Homo-oligomer: A and B are copies of this chain.
């Protein structure tokens, strides 16, 4: 268990299971190979027999290895291999008004019902967050919230938080102007305000394909038209396709997630981000950069945001603490470049100001110097859970299934055989109290009918392994025409 009460790295049995799983994935251990004996492994890694049995037991439960009486443990023959990543959607779409169906809200609502295994959820497991430390910060700062704070900080946000954010931007290689930050009610409000600041009803906005459904909702709410641009599951937006779109029609803005895109998990390489920013600057098209997953990198360093390459203030960078530190606190922000004044004005017009108590609690917490330790633990827990989920999916989903293997975030994107309809699979799974996010949610023109986004951000939920197995079995039945 990885919680604030146990701030070490992964448990040893989990490390061992992960290492063996990786050896199987990479081909170092192949089907039919015998695993080292428990005694050998104890000696080699300095572990107790109980720890090794725990790890082997888990791999056995996942169907990756089997115990043969008096012979030891052997790597199973996988029923099917899912090495290939999903294919990119075939082409960019034409501009069209967005009308997200009521079905979407039903689907979203159903994922938050208690008792449902939340594979369709957009949030990681809440127990991964340091609520106790945040509560201490909150209790301490509530007492400082008085008349002076109200008058000064109401419109602009808490000064301490603004300074802490600017320091983190600087650490990540982005120098912000003094007054560039607008504190908002979560990233969702920041993104909505930025989108409204750079568009008029009827305008065309380019989004990724697939794209985060909240982007589609925002376009619908503001009466905008969406064009979906071909997006590679590994490297993000196809710049040639984007350039063609920009040449073909007036475009008011792009709304992209260059780091750990939702739902693909794609990470644009830094050079590609730079080329994107330069391309858009040449066309004077603002980039709304949704960067809520940037802190959840599995690799050693946080990827640079596109904002790091912004020279003329055309990048409106939006992020929040909701996915990496404090869900429920609803503190987000926009660093809105040359549009900051418009965004600030829209903020005043639409919700006036952001609640101060959560901002002050976060500013105090950030001042404790423990945030990065929390992030390291969170990243390790999410990466381990991704490996575990991939093993289960590889074992239990039908042949021909393709799955992403993102280097950050906590989503997997599955490209299922043609015979498997995502919404039908979602409904059958919901009947068994398992939620998913079917692919049609992630497009304005109902592409991705055979896709699923799965949340693998719920380690330590004992129902998740069984739910992934069940989901795979349902998909196999559908693939077999049942």
B154 and A145 contact, CB distance less than 8 A: no
CB < 8 Å neighbour of A112 from B109, B154, B201, B330 = B154
The residue of chain B having its C-beta at the shortest distance from the C-beta of A201 within the complex is: B201
Tell me whether B328 and A188 are in contact (CB under 8 A): no
Q: Given A112-B154, A327-B154, A345-B105 in contact, is the A125-B147 Cβ separation under 8 Å?
A: yes
Q: How far is the CA of A216 from the CA of B346 in the complex (A)?
A: 13
Q: How far is the CA of A184 from the CA of B353 in the complex (A)?
A: 12
Assign chain A's interface to a size class: 35 or more
Q: How far is the CB of A240 from chain B (nearest CB, A)?
A: 32
B201 near A223: Cβ-Cβ < 8 Å? yes
Copies in the complex: 2
Asked if A350 and B154 make an inter-chain contact with CB atoms under 8 angstroms apart, the answer reads: no
Query: Are B353 and A186 in contact, with the CB atoms below 8 A?
Result: yes
Q: What 1/0 flags go to A201-218 for Cβ under 8 Å of B?
A: 100000000000010011
Given A145-B135, A147-B126, A201-B223, A108-B351 contact (CB < 8 Å): no
For residue A221, CB closer than 8 A to chain B, the reply is yes
Question: Which listed segment binds B: A71-79, A228-236, A299-307, A355-363?
Answer: A355-363
Please measure, in the bound complex, the distance between the C-alpha atom of A129 and the C-alpha atom of B151, giving whole angstroms: 13
Interface centre among A188, A220, A350 (most CB of B within 10 A): A350
Q: Which of A48-56, A136-144, A265-273 contacts B (4 or more CB under 8 A)?
A: A136-144
A29 to B149, CA, bound (A): 44
Q: How far is the CA of A127 from the CA of B151 in the complex (A)?
A: 10
A150 at the interface (CB under 8 A from B): yes
Q: Are B188 and A350 in contact (CB-based, < 8 A)?
A: yes
> Is A32 interfacial (CB-CB < 8 Å)?
no
Q: Are A357 and B354 in contact, CB atoms less than 8 angstroms apart?
A: no
Once the chains are docked, how many angstroms separate the CA of A331 from the CA of B201?
30
B361 touching A357, Cβ below 8 Å: yes
Q: Does B146 lie within 8 Å of A142, measured CB to CB?
A: no
A359 to chain B, nearest CB (A): 9
Residue among A143, A189, A355 with the highest chain B CB neighbour number at 10 A:
A355
Partner of A358, one of B108, B352, B355: B355
Q: Counting CB contacts under 8 A, is A155 at the interface? A: yes
- A201-B223, A345-B105, A353-B186 are contacts. A327–B150 as well, Cβ < 8 Å? yes
**CB distance A131 to B114 under 8 Å?**
no
Chain B residues positioned under 8 Å from A93 (CB to CB): none
Q: Would you give the shortest CB distance from A199 to chain B, in whole angstroms? A: 11
Give A114 to B139 CA distance when docked, in angstroms. Answer: 27
Is A177 positioned at the interface, with any CB of B under 8 Å from its CB? no
Flag whether A134 is at the interface (Cβ < 8 A).
Answer: yes
Task: List, in ascending order, chain B residues with CB within 8 A of A214's CB.
Answer: 349, 352
| A449 CA to B403 CA, complexed, in Å | 65
In the bound complex, residues from chain B placing their C-beta under 8 Å from that of A131 are: 145-147
Q: CB < 8 Å: which of B123, B217, B356 contacts A328?
A: B356
For window 182-197 of A, CB contacts with B under 8 Å fall at 184-186, 188-189, 192, 196
Some 9 contacts from A to B, beta carbons below 8 A apart, are: A114-B151, A125-B147, A126-B150, A129-B147, A145-B328, A185-B185, A188-B350, A214-B349, A357-B357
